[in-house]
Amino acid sequence: MCFEGALQWIVEEAKRLVDRSAVKALDGTRLFRPDGGGQYNAFWTRDFCYMLEGLQGYIPHENAVQAYFFIVNRQRNDGAIPDRVELDGRPVY
């Protein structure tokens, strides 16, 4: 497989995994788990950032903004951002 073909395969596989990782939180927000198999039933801050950076423009803007606020609306008073947020909205620091 040539480089361009390999790169295209990686991009398509990443898109497939992002699509499979999508899940709705209890409040209806579309979130993205860090795997495509449903083993992680939480929304992980770091992995979401990687998805946004690696597949720029693939996640619809509205979904990305809503998911972003799902995280930052749970920032603690001391400034800590949750490592992950459970689908019921409970933050984990």
- Sign of the Cα torsion 7, 8, 11, 12 reads negative
Q: pTM for the full model?
A: 0.87
C-alpha 91/C-alpha 37 separation (Å) is 22
Each residue of 12-29: pLDDT tens digit?
999 999 999 999 999 999
DSSP labels for 2-22?
Answer: -HHHHHHHHHHHHHHHHHHHE
Report the pLDDT value the prediction gives residue 63, as an integer from 0 to 100: 97
Q: Strands, E, within the chain: which ranges?
A: 22-24, 30-32, 42-44, 84-86, 91-92
Report the pLDDT value the prediction gives residue 38, as an integer from 0 to 100: 81
Q: What is the CA radius of gyration of the chain?
A: 14
